[in-house]
Amino acid sequence: MLNNKMAVVDIETTGNAAKKGDRIMQIAIVLIENNEIVDTYSSYVNPQQPIPPFIVELTGITNQMVKEAPLFHLIAPEIKKRLEGAVFVAHNVHFDLPFIQTEMQEAEFPEWQGSIIDTVELARILLPTTDSFKLTELTAQFALSHDRPHQADSDALATAHLLIQFIDKLNELPLVTIEKMQHLAVHLKSDIALLLTSMIRGKRKNICNLREDIEVVRGIALKKDPLLNDKEKYSETKEMKVQSILQKAFPHYEKREAQLDMMNQVDESLQKGIHLAVEAGTGVGKSMAYILPAVKYAKKGNRVVISTQTVQLQQQILQKEARLIEQQLDGDIQFALLKGRRHYLHLFKFEQALAEDEAQYDVILTKMQLLTWLTETSNGDVDELNLTSGGRLFWNRIRHDGWFLGEENDPWKEKDFYLRALNKANNAQIVITNHSMLVHDTNRKQPLIPKHDYLVIDEAHHFEDTCRRQWGQQLDYMNLKYTIGQLGGDNQDLLVGRLSKLLDQLNESKNSKKMTDEFICDLSAEADASFQQLSSLLKSSSSVRHGTQKYTLQLTQDVKSSSYWKGVGYAFERLLSHMKQVDRVLQHNLDLAKKSTKKLTDAKKALTEEIYSFLLVWSEWMDAIRLFFLKNEEDRVMWLEGDLRSLPGSLTLTSRSIHVQQEINDHFFTQKRSVILTSATLTVDGSFQFFLSGLGVDKATINCVIHPSPFDYKQSVRLMVPKDLPDIKSVSQEEYVEMVTDHLIAMGQATKGRMLVLFTSHEMLRHTYELMKDSGLMEDFVLMAQGITNGSRTKLTRNFQRFDKAILFGTSSFWEGIDIPGEDLSCLVMVRLPFSPPDEPLTKAQSDEVKHNGGNPFLEVSLPKAVIRFRQGFGRLIRHEQDRGLIVVFDRRLIMTSYGDHFLSSIPSIPIEERELNSIVKEIDHWL
């Protein structure tokens, strides 16, 4: 039984490691009894060492504040008294507890003994869909008071309130959910199992009815499908009053002429069955400008499909605009979100996985997250979840891949999320999907997206690339090795062995085919040998540039006709032969199991479904090998890339079609009555030509409209180019990076951080980041860099916004899609104009073709791509009308070359200022 007394502890320290001599400089303890706060204690502590500037910046605790504070041994009796007989609770308990133990030992007190609870671990289990488990994010989510983050008294109190919320949430969960969690929780890192045991005893004494929106099916609590009870039909057709809907939906709505014009243009295109391309600048409100006309048209009995590039925009449309419209129209219009099958949980597989005796931490944590999530989700969509990387691997086992034994043999069929999503989509007037799903659906014999004649493609500047990616192939070492590792031999408790054991139980072993451990070892060795051959090819390539570690080798006809490539081909043919044998054995043995479906227990049925899913992935790997090594498709560009520091682990083979225009046109334009294409960046120099030619669309068949951003850029943005940086090609990269670093240090100090620095090369980013770190001049700043600092793009962006003095370095994906409004971002730096490297395989193949046809590759391929990316980068700075800031472009080609005008004429009209660094720094001080 878990003790009723809980001591919630938080400390601030001079560094991250007690073992390396870092010390406590502030401690706070909040005592909870009967789920109520009964006592608080806090004290600064003299750490007897200087506090590093970064810690001062983070916590606000200065050397002066702790100078007269007591030494730890003087307050140790007070701490011992409060911790005695309590459960030790902290947000990341394995950070706080070692510091306390070390300090108590040094004060000659015994180490604390007892149960521990980590509120981060508890948050992961109880809030499986939350974006971040940082204390500040969680307190904001629960609207808890947390006035001084990173000070121990404020953090301890916030953690205590959070713990009380978590215990309340646990009490609300169904008993069956808590019981299943308790069985799993013994493998967690803190003593949450004891907390759950207490909960179970309490719940069994006071049995409560299930919440109305919860049902228990086969021992698992689920949220009921809200649509099952929604029988009400609306006979009265509501009139579409656009202005009224906008005013009701947005309390501070102001009439925007560009938005209303775009609405009318989309409306007219849908009514008349014509195609439309609309460039709508930031602030126009394009989402609502196409959704309302789509709703109006859908109410007449026409289905409209809306496709976006990102999951975030998909969710935003569904949860924000769609929900508002549904409310205003009293539910007289139905929206549905539809994604690829593998996004959805397969309940039968999950049920059986729950019954497995598994101790691996990430699997246990993910199972517990899913148990909570199933009481909350109506969609069963993995994009709702925040899983660890190990959790993602477990998801691959329990995701939906259809049915091997037929859906009629799935006891969860009536509750199946995938079937529910298909059903919603088939009954909805407006279906929201993503570009990947939309394009992949063209490969299916029976498309999943319901038949439609009207299509809206948002973020349309990505659409051509998505088509290339979906119709292309990729083959990489790490994922293939992981897939092979799932097999095991007949004598191992992995897929092959478990299937073999199943056939023994069915008395089918004499008819089954065997796969020895030795054969699986040979298969793995063949994979290693094949990729080692590719490693040697990459290392010996003459295209390798001195000083770089990441290489790309285009697999041209010259490479493919070399003797070396023949050796690589033979190695992969041997690997493919082994893989075919695996496919034949598993397929044969699965078919044997299928004959005895009626004899199979649920656990055995789930095993056959898991192996069926595995074979679908296995088949994709074999198709990829055939494409790269057995077929010779001239209309494709193929390349090999890897990092010499980690071969063969980093190796990836990629294939993309050079010509996708005809296919895009056939699938998405000739077959639809009206296609609406929209984005903030579709044009170059005010022309849609580059964008439309990429999609194979004749300009004569589509109406094109530009709605500029309504923001006053002349008042809110300054654009500068340093005079004292050399032309990028006139000095070595090393010299150039050193000069860039000097400029960034001076500007960063002037802006006090709040600066986003965009690169086109990761090598240059890394070099600049390291020089700035090593300079000794940026100790007060938090420097974060893509690919160096841990975390996804979203996580890095969020952390950047948390710190006052932060500088964020990004490349590739950071040029678009990140949203940092207000004063969090005051200065945007572009180190180079965003041209793709001339040897980037797809760009090179497209350029070669233009050259072959007598065109100008630079003007027709390289420049338009760079201009669109430049526009996307420019758009990071001003996200709202009140935003203001500076853009500094270090690349003097912007003003020194004739093509610089193409970049400048594609952004809002603002003066460009040429200044020396000192002048830029002074102007930054004045402007900000």
**What six digits make up the tokens of 346?**
């397969």
Sign for the pseudo-dihedral over CA of 478, 480, 481, 486: positive
What 3-state class would DSSP assign to 25?
Answer: strand
Task: State phi, psi for 864 to the nearest 5 degrees.
Answer: -60, -40
17 assigned binding-site residue: no
Q: Give the C-alpha distances (Å, rounded to integers) separating 864 from 225, 867, 906.
A: 48, 5, 10
What 3-state class would DSSP assign to 530?
Answer: helix
283 assigned binding-site residue: yes
Strand partners, 829: 757, 888
For residues 552 and 840, the answer to whether their CB atoms sit within 8 Å is yes
For residues 88 and 112, the answer to whether their CB atoms sit within 8 Å is yes
Distance, in Å, from the CA atom of 376 to the CA atom of 728, rounded to the nearest integer, reads: 55
284 assigned binding-site residue: yes
List, in order, residues 6 or more apart from 96 with CB less than 8 Å away.
9, 10, 11, 90
What 3-state class would DSSP assign to 336?
Answer: strand
Closest CA to 529 of 482, 495, 567: 567
Closest CA to 83 of 47, 43, 113, 118: 113
285 assigned binding-site residue: yes
605 assigned binding-site residue: no
Q: Give the C-alpha distances (Å, rounded to integers) separating 422 from 338, 486, 638.
A: 7, 31, 36
For residues 451 and 303, the answer to whether their CB atoms sit within 8 Å is yes
Distance, in Å, from the CA atom of 728 to the CA atom of 899, rounded to the nearest integer, reads: 15
List, in order, residues 6 or more apart from 241 with CB less than 8 Å away.
none
Distance, in Å, from the CA atom of 298 to the CA atom of 290, rounded to the nearest integer, reads: 12
30 assigned binding-site residue: no
Distance, in Å, from the CA atom of 694 to the CA atom of 716, rounded to the nearest integer, reads: 34
Q: Which amino acid is at 191?
A: D
How many Å is the maximal CA-CA distance in the chain? Answer: 85
Q: How many CB atoms lie within 10 A of CB 385?
A: 18
686 assigned binding-site residue: no
280 assigned binding-site residue: yes
Task: State phi, psi for 9 to the nearest 5 degrees.
Answer: -115, 140
Annotated binding site for ATP: 280-287
Annotated binding site: 280-287
